[in-house]
Structure 1
Amino acid sequence: MKIDKSKIKKIVLAYSGGLDTSVIIPWLKENYNDPEIIAVSANVGQGDELDGLEEKAKNSGASKLVVANLEEEYVNDYLIPCLKADAKYEGYLLGTANARPLIAKALAQVALAEGADAIAHGATGKGNDQVRFELGIKHFAPDMPIIAPWREWDIVSREDEIDYAAVHHVPLRISKETNYSKDKNLWHLSHEGLDLEDPSLEPTYEKPGFLEMGVSPIDAPDKPTYISLDFEQGVPVALNGEKMPVMEILEKVNKLGGENGIGILDLVENRLVGMKSRGVYETPGGTILYFAHEYLETITLDKQVQHKKEELAITYGELVYDGQWFTPLKKALDAFMDSTQEKVTGTVKLKLYKGNIIKAGVTSPYSLYSTDLATFDESDYDQAEAAGFINLFGLPIKVQAQLDQKLKKENN
């Protein structure tokens, strides 16, 4: 839908203070007849990235900055559902993807409250985030025009953006040499661009300043760290025996995982828009929580549920990755996943060592594991009964073989 620029008097902009959104403010004012720009920053745990953001936004031309504090909602309503589902996309733990629908919700709410004429975002026309943002906005504000400058302007690279920022006196925290595209929140930190665009090159994990949430496994301690995690109905409730809110658990396992080089993923992934892209993800705490949760499920879920859940986790991960958070199928899958978690309660012990997570024991009051049945020692299990099971289970194979032999004889 072509936007009538003459009708755009007020724009709500998804604003991170990074390169893209920093230059978008003056660009919008130049190209949309000097509208009022309301910058909206979603606090999903990016920490000091919010420091000085209001001053920067106003100095760039925004009328004000609205900070939406979304950390608890992000953890409880977006991260926990993904954890319950064991949802991944090609190994990626969805750290950017699962935050975008919440940010889109906040953008739509501010835009409607402020009487804005459009919402703008800094996602590129090559990436996945344009889809995630816009599908979320369409869910909460279906008639709101959306402006995506990367699909309009004649800027063709991040280097051009840096030059544009210099001309318009927009302060940046990066240079052309440190110009990685990054996204940070409570769950993860992603790195894209520069040398990472060549998959033949090894990431510079030991380079100062590259990793921010932890260290390279090579630099991790030589001594392992033991931890325990308690879950109730699939939700982490305690760390090392101490009860605490999920957000606090995540913050602590982020620290423990980072110190031990846990959760670094170098991935060439298949983007929604059709191309392959390469990025490095840091997800130290999330990697630990996923590992512990799946470990606990091995003793609390029966075979059929466990196998079907693994299948549907792929679908769930694809929905999240593709921006399909607010869809009937996602809602239906959430109901299924919640039902599977009713007895995913127990304690998991892990050993963290130089990038590895090693199982160190798991218990649950709902464990389906029976030592008496599984033992190689004497038990009440009557092994002779297996013969009848094998005869019935193998009956189709036997019937087919008998038929094949009969036909072979007849043909000879």
Structure 2
Amino acid sequence: MSDEIVGADASPTSGMPEPERAKAAPEEDRGQRALREIVSGDIGVSVLAFVLALVIGGLLIAFTNPEVTAAAHYFFAKPMDTITAAWNAVWDAYAAMFRGAVYNGQADTFQKAIRPLTETMTVATPLIIAALGVAVGFRAGLFNIGAQGQIILGATVGGYIGFAYSLPAGIHLLLALLGGILGGAIWAGIAGVLKARTGAHEVIVTIMLNYVALYLLAYLLTTDKFTRAGSNQPTSPGVKETAQLPLLLGDWSRLHAGFIVAILASIFVWWLMTRSVLGFRFRAVGSNPHASRTSGIGIPTTIVLVMVVSGALAGLAGGVHILGTEHQLTGGIAGSLGFDAITVALLGRSRPLGIFFAGLLYGGLNVGGRVMEAATGTPIDIVLVIQALVVLFIAAPPLVRAIFRLPTPRAAVAKGAAA
């Protein structure tokens, strides 16, 4: 019986040592294994999650299109009319989204053609920086929901330095950005200290601090120092030109130097989390706090540092946002940046490179969605549904693998076997 089993499973390379067996494996087999690992890994699952969200979004576009609905009334008489109308509705909607987010082939000049891409980069800039801050918390086992409040504080402090003082150009901009970093770091540090000292859950504390930051800004906009002279509206004076982030491509595009800041922030977080001792402590505490404590890592101090670094990046995002595009404080200065940053961090798997491209993707959906609505009448809510579906599928990799019948990665199999 055992001989039959061995014979059934035998291969030309069975019985060889592992290195020799790897050398003897055909090139095609190794290529197929590599492709399988890529497709079934984190990157492949993320891409397929986005594709799946687009497919479901396309179905929603088709079902809500008036022409498709009208053709569906006589579907059994002329089914191709319904199918053609659905295809045209989805194609026109996504083509308009592409023109609005990446490249407008209908434009008469090159600048107008690539302006959608520059707008996507502009919108993505604060998202990327804030998501990097959220990801630092994720990697350390902390769920920082307070990026919204930290962005508000960063924008408030950075904006105040920008419009309240008159300084030389380079120094003024640098101090305003540092003010944004300091504002976010202090705001997140409050939650870190409460977590470290009292055990208060960071999710609850940061959510509450979001509201405190929101109403603090609302109050400040009623004071003389934060109100534009001669205006009854709750808006601050404009940021002085010496504190504004310079435009990268001229007046025809809103893309500013904050995009370079986002690139530098991505490199910094990569270095911090993979090459520095502090980043090792962050990851160790996130992986196993008990083992970290046993090895001599101070858990309370590390928690505070994690929240400070996370908040500093979110505050930098707020500073870049006001100094780059907004140029004045309003009650809705942060919009939904902080909560969108959580989505981008999840979509990017809390890795700097993934977050960078996820931020561009998210920014493109926001920018292209507005053009899609204006050009085709498709509700922009479809874009929100697509974003939500992407997060849903990213959060459930087994579901994506089951839909596309992907194999489970070897690392996950080995982990399950060890458990």
Q: TM-score, normalised by structure 2?
A: 0.24
> Structure 1 or 2: larger helix share?
2
Choose between structure 1 and 2 for higher RCO, CA contacts under 8 A separated by at least 6 residues.
2
> Structure 1 or 2: larger strand share?
1
